[in-house]
Amino acid sequence: MLKLPANTQGRDYYVGDIHGHGEALWKLLDAVRFDDRCDRLFCTGDLVDRGPDSARLLLILDDAPWFHAVMGNHEAMLIVAGSARDETTRKRWSARDSAWFFRLPAEQRKPLVRIAMRMPLVMQIEQPEGEPIGLIHADLPLDKGWTALERARFGVGAAFDNDGDTLASHLLWGRSTAMQLGQAMTTGRRPSGLLARLRVESLGMLISGHTPMLAAKPRLAGNRLFLDTGVYLPGGRLTLLEPLSRRYWQTNANAVEVAPPKRLRAIG
């Protein structure tokens, strides 16, 4: 777990899975007048694949002290495929929107793998007041507490273990909690029992991505914020959120314009 101190000089923003859509990200940062001298940006992972700026985003992550991201399953697959010597493993990964990586010369691929390997599975960001914010890519099972992640480690096999029951597999691939919330909302029943179980102790908020939310809207349930709004999907958006004010901004993959900010509202 990577623990970062509170930002006492500027603002902290969180963005969902970018998936190579760099122009959408720059448009959002311009809209909030992001100041890289004092502001910070945190991403739920999956910087790469499906958009044109995958390599660029990884390189910026390596160069910019204001930019932080947890590892997503697409970075995990990049590590496995970029380190693999057999063609079967490489093809299995490149089928997931990742042909861009293998079109690069070998000398350009190696630095990207090294950057991805340094991405943590879990972050804890202290706050000027109140409990810290936790950041993961996919899922923290309902029966696992935040302290269970203190010793979480990434294993190479977890990259393709999308049906596994290891903690790394849940963090990279899990959708169970987001799917339970989605089912409760679509049935029209109040998910009160689920909301109580969603609360993660020792955190002010747990932010995750991976599973695109219905209607491309971020969802706050219990103290879990589901931030992925499917920028790569038809009708999808990239969402940038400031937890302190609970305002969020959105734009689409073409980054034509940024919608006026909206206020995040909790479910329940």
What does the pLDDT average to over 242-267?
93
Can you give the pLDDT at residue 181?
86
CB of 238 closer than 8 Å to CB of 226: no
What does the pLDDT average to over 180-194?
73
CB of 214 closer than 8 Å to CB of 230: no
Our CA angle for 104, 19, 99, nearest 5°, is 30
CB proximity list for 244: less than 8 A, separation 6 or greater: 11, 12
Instruction: Read off the pTM.
Output: 0.94
Q: Which domains does the chain have, with CATH numbers?
A: 2-263 (3.60.21.10)
- End-to-end, the C-alpha distance of the chain in Å comes to 31
What Cα–Cα distance (Å) separates residue 231 from each residue in 81, 211, 241, 251?
A: 24, 11, 15, 8
Confidence of residue 190 (pLDDT cuts 50, 70, 90): low
Our CA angle for 76, 18, 248, nearest 5°, is 135
Can you give the pLDDT at residue 171?
93
Active-site residue, selected from the candidate residues 19, 21, 68, 74: 74
Q: Has 74 been annotated as catalytic?
A: yes
Confidence of residue 86 (pLDDT cuts 50, 70, 90): low
Residue-wise pLDDT for 5-26, tens only, equals: 999 999 999 999 999 999 999 9
In the chain, alpha helices (H)? 22-31, 54-63, 73-83, 87-94, 99-103, 106-117, 167-173, 176-186, 192-198
State yes or no: pLDDT of 101 exceeds 80: yes
Confidence of residue 106 (pLDDT cuts 50, 70, 90): confident
